[in-house]
Amino acid sequence: CFGDSWAYTGRLGGGNVGSVWVVNGLDGQVYAMKGMRIRPKGKERAIAKGIVPTLAVFAKEVAAQSLAAEMHLAPEVVDYFVCRNPSSSSPTLGFIVMRKVEGVDMGTYVSKRQANAGVWCEAKYFPPAPSIKGYVMDEMYQEMLDGVAQLDEAGIYITDM
């Protein structure tokens, strides 16, 4: 399904909607590629370990991330595509390729930081997404609130945060 455009090099992480892999592009650059299962309209459902969106929800996620990237609040989308199992009449997988952001995920950062001050954050996620339990620095928390407020003002809603 990827053709010759993207070469898989390893797993980066995952969450309730999909998994993220590291891929190399034809330009020699390293990118992050989020993959998610897609259900036909009317067959969408929550599953034990996440959400399986429709093609329309996938398209909205691509559009939302593209708009958030223009606001410097998300990585730039450089490609997106869907794949179909030969036995299916509709797409079964969706992929979003974006600029790779260096660093650690929020759950790991907060949980391993072991700070004793700031804003307490605790959320349990389904594996493989890391759960969060610890303090976020006041300044970082305010930046997150400001970013979410900007997204809200623009009508961009985050469903997998």
| Cis? peptide before 40, omega within 30° of 0 | no
Beta bridge partners of 36: 94
First to last CA, the chain: 28
Residue 57's pLDDT is 84
Higher pLDDT pick, 112 / 45: 112
Higher pLDDT pick, 37 / 22: 22
Q: How confident is the model at residue 110 (pLDDT cuts 50, 70, 90)?
A: confident
Model confidence at 2: pLDDT above 80: no
Q: How confident is the model at residue 113 (pLDDT cuts 50, 70, 90)?
A: confident
Amino acid at 142: Q
pLDDT digits (tens, 9 = 90+) for 43-71: 655 554 556 678 888 898 899 999 999 99
Dihedral sign of CA atoms 83, 1, 10, 21 in order: negative
Model confidence at 31: pLDDT above 90: yes
Mean pLDDT, residues 138-151: 92
